[in-house]
C-alpha cells in the first residue's frame, strides 16, 4: 500500500474541507515518519512501508476520524483527546535508535589492503578484480573507510541496546564488563549465565551486531522481526527500535545468518547443519563469481547451504564446515559463492547435499527464509528446478 492509498482509505467518509484537512495532516505525519526512518538508514521504499505500519490500520483511522467529525460538538473534544492519546502511545512505541560504529582497524586502509589482497593484486586475479570493481586504489580505500570489509561488521552501543529493550518492556538482567556482556537468568530465569564478547571504546561498550539475533533470543521469548535490509527496525512487542546508523550501516541478512547458526544448535527443525559457517556480506567476494536466479520478488531473503569450501578442503586433507550464505534477492539474483570456475549441482534438501558431499560433488540447497518471527525462523526449500546458476 502506498501513502496515497493509505490516505484515501483513512479519509474515506469525509467530504470537502474536512477531508482535505485530514488528508494534509495525515500526509504530514507520514512524511515526518518516513524522514525519521530514512535517517536510520532505510531506503525510500522501506521507510514508507515502516511509516505506514507505524500508523496502523487506515480503516480504523477512518472510523475514528468519522466519529470525530460527525459527533456533536459537546463530545468532539473528548474524542479528539482519545485520538491524541492514541498518537502519544504510538510515539512511545517508537524507541530511540541503537547507535552503531566500527572498530578503528576496520576502517583503516592498510588493514583493508591486506584483507582484500590489494598488496598482491598483480599476482592475484581475485584481488585484481576487487580492485577494478572499486575503481582503483582510491576507490578501495574509500570503501574501506565506510567499513565495507569489517570482519565483525558494525558494533552496537550496549547502553543504547539495553535502554531500548527496557523501554520496550523487555527485561534484561545484564552486566557489561570491559570484554564481556553477561546475562543472568536467560529467558526462563534458569540459565546461570550467558556471555557475549563486546568491545570497549572511549568508555563505551559495544556488541558486535552479528550477535544481535542470538542475544535477543537469549533475553526474551517474545516474537521479533526486522523490517528493512539496511539499518532495520526491530519490532518486538509494541516497540519499534531502529538499529544502526548511516555511518556504520547494519545489514539485516548478516543478522539473520548469524541468528540461524545460533538457532540451529537448539532448534532441530531448521534444515541446516549444526556446524555451518555463515558468510558475511562484508567478506570480500570475487565479482566474477556466478550467482543464482531465484523465484520471487526483490528484497525477499534466501539462504544457501553449500559444500564448496568443504569439498575444496577435503581435497587438501583439511577440515572445513559447510557454508551458509544469506542474501536478499536483487535483480532476480542472489550471491552464493566466491568461486569462479564452478561446476555445482543444485539439490532439493540437506539430505541430498549430504549425499553429494559423500560423493565429493560440489552442491548447494536453497531456502526461502520467512523472517516474520525470528524467534522461530522458517526455512522452505526452493525446488532445484526453479533455480539456475548464472554469470554476473
Which H/E stretch holds residue 215? helix 212-219
Orientation of helix 44-55 relative to helix 73-93, angle to 10°: 130
The rounded distance, in Å, linking the Cα atoms of 184 and 175 is 8
Are 381 and 366 within 8 A, CB to CB?
Answer: yes
The rounded distance, in Å, linking the Cα atoms of 310 and 275 is 12
Are 144 and 108 within 8 A, CB to CB?
Answer: yes
Write down the pLDDT at residue 108.
79
Write down the pLDDT at residue 79.
45
Write down the pLDDT at residue 120.
59
Task: Tally the C-alpha atoms within 13 A of residue 338's C-alpha that lie toward its C-beta.
Answer: 18
Which is nearest to 49 in space by CA: 29, 25, 30, 63? 30
pLDDT tens digits in sequence order for the chain, 392 residues long: 888 898 888 888 888 777 877 787 788 778 767 766 665 556 778 888 888 887 778 887 787 777 655 544 444 444 444 444 444 444 445 567 899 999 888 887 777 677 666 665 566 777 777 777 777 778 777 877 788 778 778 999 999 999 999 888 888 888 887 788 888 755 555 555 578 889 999 889 999 999 999 999 988 889 999 999 999 999 998 888 999 998 899 999 999 999 999 888 888 889 999 889 999 998 877 889 999 999 999 999 999 999 999 998 876 666 788 999 999 999 999 999 988 888 999 999 999 999 999 999 999 999 999 988 999 999 999 999 999 999 88
C-alpha cell at 27: 500526509
The string of DSSP letters for 343-391 reads --EEESSHHHHHHHHHTT--EEEEEEEE-S-TTS-EEEEPPGGG-EEE-
C-alpha cell at 332: 532476480
Under DSSP, is residue 78 helix (H, G, I), strand (E, B) or coil? helix
Write down the pLDDT at residue 249.
92
The rounded distance, in Å, linking the Cα atoms of 83 and 64 is 7
The rounded distance, in Å, linking the Cα atoms of 265 and 351 is 18
* Count of beta carbons in the 10 Å neighbourhood of residue 313: 14
List C-alpha distances in Å: 157 to 57, 100, 144, 214, 376.
Answer: 33, 6, 21, 16, 25
Strand partners, 381: 367
The rounded distance, in Å, linking the Cα atoms of 275 and 260 is 11
Are 371 and 225 within 8 A, CB to CB?
Answer: yes
Are 353 and 341 within 8 A, CB to CB?
Answer: no
Q: Which burial class, exposed, middle or buried, applies to 235 when counting CB atoms under 10 A from its CB (0-12, 13-18, 19+)?
A: buried
* Region of residue 176 (phi > 0: left; psi between -120 and 50: alpha; otherwise: beta): beta
Write down the pLDDT at residue 292.
97
The CA-based angle 288-292-297, given to 5 degrees, is: 125
Write down the pLDDT at residue 185.
59
pTM: 0.73
Write down the pLDDT at residue 96.
78
Under DSSP, is residue 193 helix (H, G, I), strand (E, B) or coil? strand
Write down the pLDDT at residue 77.
45
Write down the pLDDT at residue 243.
95
End-to-end CA distance of the chain: 32
Are 326 and 254 within 8 A, CB to CB?
Answer: yes
Write down the pLDDT at residue 123.
63
Task: Identify the sign of the CA torsion 375, 259, 289, 143.
Answer: positive
Which is nearest to 336 in space by CA: 384, 267, 268, 377? 384
Amino acid at each position: 500500500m502506498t501513502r496515497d492509498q493509505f490516505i484515501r482509505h483513512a479519509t474515506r467518509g469525509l467530504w470537502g474541507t474536512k477531508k482535505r484537512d485530514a488528508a494534509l495532516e495525515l500526509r504530514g505525519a507520514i512524511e515526518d515518519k518516513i524522514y525519521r526512518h530514512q535517517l536510520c538508514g532505510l531506503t525510500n521504499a522501506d521507510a514508507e512501508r515502516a511509516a505506514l505500519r507505524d500508523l496502523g490500520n487506515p480503516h480504523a483511522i477512518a472510523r475514528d476520524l468519522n466519529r470525530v467529525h460527525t459527533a456533536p460538538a459537546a463530545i468532539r473534544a473528548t474524542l479528539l483527546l482519545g485520538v491524541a492519546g492514541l498518537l502519544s502511545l504510538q510515539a512511545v512505541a517508537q524507541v530511540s535508535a541503537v547507535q552503531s560504529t566500527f572498530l578503528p582497524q576496520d576502517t583503516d586502509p592498510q588493514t583493508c589492503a591486506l584483507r582484500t589482497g590489494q598488496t598482491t593484486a598483480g599476482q592475484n586475479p581475485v584481488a585484481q578484480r576487487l580492485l577494478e570493481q572499486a575503481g582503483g586504489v582510491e576507490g578501495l580505500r574509500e570503501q574501506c573507510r565506510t567499513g565495507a570489509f569489517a570482519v565483525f561488521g558494525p558494533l552496537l552501543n550496549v547502553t543504547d541496546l539495553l535502554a531500548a529493550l527496557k523501554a520496550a518492556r523487555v527485561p534484561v538482567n545484564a552486566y557489561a564488563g570491559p570484554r564481556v556482556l553477561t546475562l543472568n537468568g536467560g529467558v526462563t530465569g534458569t540459565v546461570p549465565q550467558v556471555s557475549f564478547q563486546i568491545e570497549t571504546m572511549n568508555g563505551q561498550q559495544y556488541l558486535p551486531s552479528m550477535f544481535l539475533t542470538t542475544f535477543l533470543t537469549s533475553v526474551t521469548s517474545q516474537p521479533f522481526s526486522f523490517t528493512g535490509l539496511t539499518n532495520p527496525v526491530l519490532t518486538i512487542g509494541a516497540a519499534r527500535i531502529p538499529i544502526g546508523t548511516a555511518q556504520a550501516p547494519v545489514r539485516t541478512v548478516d543478522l539473520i545468518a548469524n541468528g540461524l547458526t545460533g538457532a540451529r544448535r537448539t532448534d532441530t527443525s531448521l534444515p541446516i547443519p549444526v556446524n555451518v559457517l555463515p558468510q558475511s556480506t562484508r567478506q570480500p567476494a570475487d565479482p566474477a563469481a556466478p550467482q543464482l536466479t531465484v523465484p520471487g520478488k526483490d528484497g525477499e531473503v534466501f539462504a544457501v547451504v553449500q559444500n564448496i569450501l568443504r569439498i575444496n578442503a577435503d581435497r587438501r586433507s583439511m577440515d572445513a564446515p559447510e557454508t551458509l550464505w544469506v542474501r536478499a534477492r536483487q535483480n532476480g539474483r542472489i550471491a552464493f559463492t566466491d568461486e569462479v570456475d564452478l561446476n555445482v549441482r543444485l539439490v532439493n534438501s540437506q539430505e541430498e547435499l549430504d549425499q553429494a558431499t559423500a560423493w565429493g560433488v560440489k552442491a548447494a540447497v536453497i531456502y526461502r527464509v520467512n523472517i516474520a518471527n525470528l524467534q522461530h525462523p522458517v526455512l522452505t526449500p526452493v525446488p532445484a528446478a526453479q533455480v539456475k546458476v548464472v554469470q554476473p
